[in-house]
Structure 1
Amino acid sequence: MSAWIQSIEGTPTGATVALILALMAAVLHAAFGALQKGRHDPLLARGVIDISYALMAAPFAFFVVPWPEPHMWLIFIGVFFIHAGYKWAVLLSFRRGAFTVVYPVMRGTGPLFTVIGAWLIFDETFTGVQWLGVLVLLAGLYGLAAYNMARVTVARDTLVAALGFAMLTGLFVAVYTTFDAYGIRATADPFTFLAWFFFIDGLLFPCLALRFYLRMEERPPLAPLALRGVAGGLIAPFSFGAVMLATRLDQVGEAAVLRETSTIFAALIGWLFLRETVGPARVALMALIAAGAVIVEVGG
């Protein structure tokens, strides 16, 4: 698999595979976000998810993939701190705002900064048509957030703070997308980066979650938490891992924009499982998001 990935980098086949991977990441990332925003506190959910994928990744990191090159350890340190900041911002946002309000803001802030970061670091450029697609997608994302915000009836007293943390999350999304793209391109075998990424990234938040759990007066049963953790642990490598591979195969900015169609799937999840309504206006805004992603892809 590694040899095949390396053989299609920068080719039309690689671009097609990157498109498929980015869209798969979008679907799975929406499900991943919903797992963190369910009935359990987001810190507990994040903790069990992280320990699950860390344990799943450990055998691959230590015994299957090639050992990381020496220069990769500094990159992994950067990955650890950047993703820790990202996850903390997500938790603060989810604790204060409704999923369908904060999630579009999180995802909408990321692509613009990612495209700029990819230009500065990887010398990637967007055409005028692609920039139009970015603007259309952002209009849909922020329009969806504004529409949901006007109608949300829960946690309105903390909504401003939630939106602030959602914007901060979007900035972290741009930083980690660009930095992860740099990391996965810096090693010979992309699966070396992925295996060690999930192992290292999963070490901190289980400790924070355990400390929080032990201090709770009413502790939730562990079985449902563990089930949520296993589900998230299985989804994460195919969500985050897919978009990382996409950034190695094709442009970082395009992968970042396509991934943000996850907001469409998040709205569907909110409607199906979180009992949040979807009306004609939201459908139109989601269509705008999809149109923006299509324009970016076709314009490239």
Structure 2
Amino acid sequence: MTPLIVAAVLTAALTHAAWNAIAHGIKDQVLAFTLVGGGGALVALAMAPFAPLPHGRAWPYLVASVLIHLAYQYLLMQSFRLGEFGQVYPIARGIAPLAVTVLAAVFVGERPGPWQTAGVLVASTGLGGVALWGMRGRRPNWPALAAAVGTGLTIASYTVVDGVGVRDSGTPLGYIAWLLIGQGLVIPAFALAARRGELLAQLRPVALRGLLGGVLSIGAYGLVLWAQTRAPLAPVAALRETSIIAGAAIGTLFFKERFGRPRIVAAVIVVTGIGLMLHAG
């Protein structure tokens, strides 16, 4: 984990929190993800002619990743529709580092050492604190929590699949271009079929915000894929999840959700856990 890789993943974390906040802020989630996915696909279509085609052995991973990303987008839409951004976002992102560590050990042979294991456990504790603080004094919103947990598991799945696929592709730029083309056109096609003549009028008021979210989503995941070609999957995944701190702050500043001292303490715990994992690298 060189300083350049750390800087790239931290930038991806902030950018990821920003595009998720944009998507959450558009109340009609079908419109939000039509614009995010469509915007990302348009940029990817422009990039694809200038990038080499991924090697043949990477295409099964690309197809699997497209399917997992579609499940991820559906679950993310449901979690945003049902719950508060400052709660469901940390849960969804917080499950991923622990799950990635397990999946990478089982399927990729990247087995964590003692420092990395301790870092994952400490970071997961802090992530849980960030999420659970929002539940204090109220009944759990079980549908929102279930959608957020499912989102986190799909994040872990596509992280490992893409980590292997992008290494086999020979071209991180080409891999992300074709990944975003594959997944980015599905929700817009569904929205067009379901809403027909009404879609353009519904998109117009939120078009700029949504398309900006699509561009940010490409930048965020492109940086992560590049980092995964140069560092083990688990530390990259853990460092990327510093986005939950940005997400909780965005929830407070823009959506008037509570932050409070417990979330500050939890954020410090997360940073401590990530420091342990980076020490391992």
Counterpart pick for 2:153 among 171, 177, 182: 171
Correspondences of 1:188-227 after superposition (within 5 Å)? 188-214=170-196, 221-227=202-208
- Tell me the distance in 2 between the aligned counterparts of 1:54 and 1:47: 10
What's 2:5 paired with? 18
Relative distance call for 1:90 and 1:251 in structure 2 (3 A) is same
Which of 91, 98, 117 is the equivalent residue of 2:84? 98
> How much has 1:244 moved relative to structure 2?
1.1
Provide Cα deviations, 1:168-211, integer angstroms capped at 9, x if missing partner: 11110110000011110011222111221122221101122334
Unpaired runs of at least 5, structure 1? 1-13
Deviation digits for residues 118-141 of structure 1 (CA, Å, limit 9, x no counterpart): 112222122212211111111111
Provide the residue aligned with 2:136 in structure 1: 150
Q: 1:186 aligns with which of 144, 155, 168?
A: 168
1:34 and 2:21 aligned: yes
Cα separation, 2, equivalents of 1:39 and 1:47: 11
| Range 286-295 or range 176-185, more displaced | 286-295
Q: Does 1:299 align with 2:276?
A: no
Inter-partner Cα distance in structure 2 for 1:215 and 1:280: 49
Equivalent residue number for residue 232 of structure 1? 213
Give the deviation of 1:145 after TM superposition.
Answer: 1.2
In the alignment of these two chains, the number of paired residues is 281
Q: Which whole-Å CA distance do the structure 2 matches of 1:26 and 1:55 have between them?
A: 22
Q: Among the aligned pairs, what percent are the same residue?
A: 33
Deviation at 1:271, TM superposition (A): 1.5
Q: C-alpha separation between the residues in 2 aligned to 1:94 and 1:50?
A: 16
Secondary structure (helix, strand or coil) at the match of 2:110 reads: coil
With normalisation by structure 1, the TM-score equals: 0.87
* d(CA) in 1 for partners of 2:253, 2:187: 29
Cα offsets for 1:76-111 (capped at 9, x unmatched): 221211110111111111111111111111111111
2:122 and 2:273 in contact (8 A); partners too: yes
Report what 1:282 is aligned to. 263
1:82 aligns with 2:68: yes
Q: Report the more deviating stretch, 175-184 or 220-229.
A: 220-229
What is the CA RMSD across the aligned residues, in angstroms? 2.1
Q: Are positions 1:127 and 2:109 aligned together? A: no
